Structure 1
Amino acid sequence: MLYLDRPAVPWRGRLWSHLISDVSYAELHAFAEALGAPRRGFDRDHYDIPAERFPVAVWLGAQVGDRAAGQLGQ
């Protein structure tokens, strides 16, 4: 399953989310490609997703959670 936290990380004048998979990197990369996220957005175990792509990621099936509360990947 794919998980996404709400856009809350400021960077370069935008807010960002983190997209993760609890299944595989293959699932994560395929989803990111479908979302239109560039491969350079991949950082070790997640993709950085800009706030404007958040609704599309949810529409495509990512589950929303809160990383700080430990709700991602559970």
Structure 2
Amino acid sequence: MTVYVDDAVHAWRGQRWAHLMADTLPELHAMAAQLGMPHRAFQNKASGAHYDVSAPMRVQAIALGAMPISRHTDRARMKAVIANARAQYQPD
């Protein structure tokens, strides 16, 4: 089981942001908790279950064991991770 953090560092509110995703929701929530993120930051979306993390938090997540993945070089893995994140979406 793995937690992933992409390199999609989008600018928003003066910071750069990436997406934290995982093979399972418990792993995803555990990593978010290690990063000090509240559960309310969880993005339960049809586009994929994830947390948005700032660039410094991305570095911290990698230090804690998250696997960095790139939309530029790991396209097949990225596609599989996103498909898995979409499958984890739980409509209210």
- Same fold (TM > 0.5): yes
Q: Normalising TM by the smaller chain, what interval? A: 0.7 to 0.9
Q: Which has the larger radius of gyration?
A: 2
In structure 1, the partner of 2:16 is 15
- Counterpart of 2:60 (choices 56, 61, 64) is 56
TM-score, normalised via structure 2 length: 0.69
Cα distance between partner residues in 2 of 1:33 and 1:70: 28
Once the two structures are TM-superposed, the CA of residue 7 in structure 1 deviates from its matched residue by 4.9
After superposition, the Cα gap between the structure-2 partners of 1:4 and 1:71, relative to the gap in structure 1 and judged at 3 Å, is same
Of Structure 1 and Structure 2, which has the larger fraction of its residues in helix?
2
Aligned residues: 73
Which segments of structure 1 move beyond 4 Å, counting only runs of 4 or more? none
Identity of aligned residues (%): 38
Alignment check: 8 A CA contact 1:18 1:46 kept: yes
Structure scoring higher RCO (CA < 8 A, sep ≥ 6) equals 1
Cα distance between partner residues in 2 of 1:35 and 1:29: 10
Where do 5+ consecutive residues of structure 1 fail to align? none
Of Structure 1 and Structure 2, which has the larger fraction of its residues in strand?
1
Alignment check: 8 A CA contact 1:7 1:54 kept: no
Letter in 2 for 1:38: P
